[in-house]
Amino acid sequence: MQKRTLGSGLEVSTLGLGCMGLSHGYGPATDTQQAVALIRAAVEQGVTFFDTAEVYGPYVNEQVLGEALAPVRDQVVIATKFGFTFGSDNKQQILNSRPEHIRVAVEGSLRRLKTDVIDLLYQHRVDPNVPIEEVAGVVKELIWEGKIKHFGLSEAGAQTIRRAHAVQPVTALQSEYSLWWRAPEQEILPTLAELGIGLVPFSPLGKGFLTGTVSADRSFASDDFRSIVPRFSQEALHANQALVTLICEIAVQKAATPAQIALAWLLAQAPWIVPIPGTTKLQRLKENLNSVSIALTQADLRAIDSALAQIHIVGERYPESLKARVGR
């Protein structure tokens, strides 16, 4: 597995593993031992970058990752996130980046991850009630104390990134970016390039849609996050099949799978982009990792851009209730 560098010095595998789906968001949690086996298989195949968050579960995902990576802790980079408190049922997510809560969250993450330092700590969502300078200041203190190595933001807007970076250098921004969500190209990517900050795209496969395995008639259970995402409504799924058709055509030309093309396209956008596709299946893990060997030429990329310009993507990527939490 090749390596890439986020920010000024965090070296990670070219592809990371997004672990959320093992415990949260897409139906019942994967059996713990199966999840541990998948994570360890990723390590064996060269993955050194693993992404989790306290909110995934809540808490369960960090515990699984901690168990899985304990034997190889010195060989891997663990990223986790703070930024929420939870209702009495542990389902309601309440934004909370108050300095005292950040410290409590970090201690909990360290314990669950079975480690004495977090390699990359993200603010999961910008809290409008706490100035980002205060958040960055607390993380700066935690770095001085040796509990954190690198600071990250998730789904933050360009001006917030600049303000945070002025207090404590930001190593990475985690945000959605893929063939069907290219909004970051307008302002976010130029800002990251200017400041020397890496990008860690989540949902690089469009929550499964870009793999070509989600049919236009697919429905989703109530415990699957996609059941409330406008982009996965029946109308949108039908309308957006044109994008899948395009990716499948390119995949045939390159003797690859649609998922591999979607990941190879992301990797070709900049050397400081490190996608974190998630999966619960070993064969999908291997498929995703093999995307690093697929080279898209500049001619390929121009052809893809030209074809994408003719495709209108239907549906918002978040329901109305969650849209306000991104891009602040």
**Spatial distance between the Cα atoms of 148 and 144, rounded to a whole number of angstroms:** 8
Distance between CA atoms of 248 and 307, rounded to whole angstroms?
Answer: 13
Q: How far apart are CA 65 and CA 37, in angstroms?
A: 11
Q: Which one of 26, 56, 122, 177 is the catalytic residue?
A: 56
56 is catalytic: yes
Residues near 251 by Cβ (< 8 Å), separated by ≥ 6? 212, 257, 258, 260, 261
Q: How many CB atoms lie within 10 A of CB 262?
A: 29
Is 182:152 a contact under the CB 8 Å cutoff?
Answer: no
3-state helix, strand, coil in the chain (%, to 5): 45, 15, 35
| Tokens (6 digits) for 217 | 């008639």
Residues 49, 292, 72, CA angle at the centre, nearest 5°?
25
Query: Got the DSSP string for 54-110?
Result: TTTTTTHHHHHHHHHHGGGGGG-EEEEEE-EEE-TTS--EEE---HHHHHHHHHHHH
The span from the CA of 19 to the CA of 13, in Å, is 15
Distances in whole angstroms, Cα of residue 322 to Cα of each of 40, 61, 191, 283: 33, 22, 24, 32
Residue pair 83/97 in contact (Cβ under 8 Å)? The answer is: yes
Q: Beta-strand (E) ranges in the chain? A: 3-6, 10-13, 17-18, 49-51, 77-82, 84-86, 93-95, 118-123, 148-154, 170-176, 198-202
Q: Quick one: tokens of 325?
A: 């939490």
Catalogue the active-site residues. 56
